[in-house]
Structure 1
Amino acid sequence: MSIWKRLTRIFRSRTNRDAGDIEALKEKLDESYRSQLALLQQVRRGVADVATSRKRVELQITQLNQQGAQLDAAARTAVANGNDDAARAALTRKVTLDKAVADLTAQHAGLKTEEDRLEDSARQIQVQIEQFRLRKDTLSARHTAAAARSEINSATTGISSQMGEVGQAVKAAEQRTRELEAHADAVDELVREGIITGPGHDPHSTEAFDEQFDSLSSTTDVDRQLDALKSGISTGDEHGQDKV
């Protein structure tokens, strides 16, 4: 295994492990966000319950005030008629209702205070949740961008390495192509000079052309050796004539 492949495997292993850790963190953040939303809903339900109780108390206070007004009117009528006992009874019931109204008014004030406190808590929680959501989404976006950039860098590095190997192959192909072109140019020149016959003259096969080209160098060697023999014989004859 090459060093590059080892480094690539190590890098991918670490990247996968880091990606797993990030995904686990994102899941925890999402779970925390859901928990905060559930808390907000719980606080809002509390606000609604307190508001309902407050309105119920308001209704009771209104009803008791109406009854107190009726008792007051009855007491006035009894006094006008000279019936003090009836007036006293009406006023006694009115005093009892007034105490109940006072108690309900105190409860109403407490409920209103609790309602305001819960509403303020709900607003604060909502602001915190919104800030948390923005940070969570920003982190997720940054992670996505970082992962994409890492993939691009990895791909770019891989492409650069592969291009180096491809470059070597291209150089070898270019070298081989130049050799073939030189071979073809040499053959074309020999055909033009009539030293060998082109392959197009053989309607059945190109073997004759290949044999002519292969035998060209050997034929030249034979001619050279024959010239050398003739030269040697000629030189020997001349020496023999001198001796005579």
Structure 2
Amino acid sequence: MPGIIDRIARAFGSQSDDSKPAGDTRSELEDAYAQQTELLQQVRRGAAGVASSRRQLAAQQADLAAEIDSLTATAHRLLDQGQDSLAHEALVRKQALLQQLAGLETQHAQLQREEENLILTATRLQAKVDSIRTKQSTVWAQYSAAEASARVTAALGGIDLGAAGAVVQRADELLHATAVPEPLAADELRAAAADELAAIRAALADRAPAAPGEGSYQQPGGYPSTGVTDSTGERA
């Protein structure tokens, strides 16, 4: 199968290039994936064909080697029997078979190298197929995300986001305005108590003295303070 490596190499070089932008469309990736997969199958079939041919050559080599050994033994036997001419003919046949065997060995070595190259090519193609499959998954994910974003944008199309933000801000202000004040610190509590005590003292100082028999002070405004009476109705 001469030339198969060259044909595969040309086809391989004309396929997907890693330098292409990552933003390939989905259809382009699908086409590249299909092409690479088909090429990979061709290379594998070629490698299988080369391997089959190589095995056939190996079998022919084994047959020739066995025939050569047989001719060598025949020549020895004929020489022992004094049949030199027949022994010579056997050795001539042996030399011809040796030439054929050398040619088969050369062809076998070529097929083996070609098989190894095809296997290496198949490995590289498999890596490209896997890379394209990964890119496909990434593009599908990006496409799905963009599609979902478009649906959300369409759903929010009739909403005034500025007005909604103002409502949220106003609600937050009302929440803070009606919040329960934090408890005062100990120093603030003592200061408030001192202010209240001073106010009480000032109120007491404003009270006028009461009339005789009505107690020491009367309420502001001239109202007498209420005395305490005993059981007979007399003021104590």
TM-score (norm 2): 0.56
The structure with the largest helix share of the pair is 1
Shift of 1:85: 1.0
Q: What code does the residue aligned with 1:130 have?
A: D
- Counterpart AA for 1:87: A
Q: CA deviation at 1:156?
A: 2.9
Shift in Å, 1:159 = 5.4
What's the secondary structure of 2:157's corresponding residue? Answer: helix
Residue type of the alignment partner of 2:108: H
Cα root mean square deviation, aligned: 2.1
Question: 1: CA distance between counterparts of 2:128 and 2:37?
Answer: 10
The one-letter code matched in structure 2 to 1:138 is: T
- Structure 2 residue matching 1:151: 3-state secondary structure: helix
Aligned: 1:82 with 2:61: no
Question: Secondary structure of the equivalent of 2:82?
Answer: coil
Alpha-carbon deviation of 1:158? Answer: 3.4
The CA deviation string for residues 190-232 of structure 1, in whole angstroms up to 9 with x for no partner, is xxxxxxxxxxxxxxxxxxxxxxxxxxxxxxxxxxxxxxxxxxx
Q: Which runs of 5+ in 1 are unaligned?
A: 1-23, 165-244
Structure 2 segments unaligned to the other structure (5+ residues): 1-23, 165-236
Residues 163-209 of structure 1, C-alpha deviation per residue, up to 9 Å, x if partnerless?
Answer: 98xxxxxxxxxxxxxxxxxxxxxxxxxxxxxxxxxxxxxxxxxxxxx
Aligned length: 141
CA distance in structure 2 between the aligned counterparts of 1:112 and 1:156, rounded to whole angstroms: 66
What is the CA distance between 1:160 and its match in structure 2? 5.7
Tell me the distance in 1 between the aligned counterparts of 2:128 and 2:34.
Answer: 13
The more displaced of 129-138 and 146-155 is 146-155
Tell me, yes or no, if the aligned pair for 2:32 and 2:132 is still in contact at 8 Å: no
Deviates more, 1:25-34 or 1:42-51: 25-34
Structure-1 separation of matches of 2:79 and 2:145? 88
Measured in 2, the distance between the counterparts of 1:33 and 1:158 equals 42
Counterpart AA for 2:86: A
Q: Return the alpha-carbon distance in structure 1 between the equivalents of residues 59 and 160 of structure 2.
A: 80
1:187 corresponding residue in structure 2: none
Q: Give a deviation string over 1:96-116, Cα, whole Å, max 9, x none.
A: 111100000000000000110
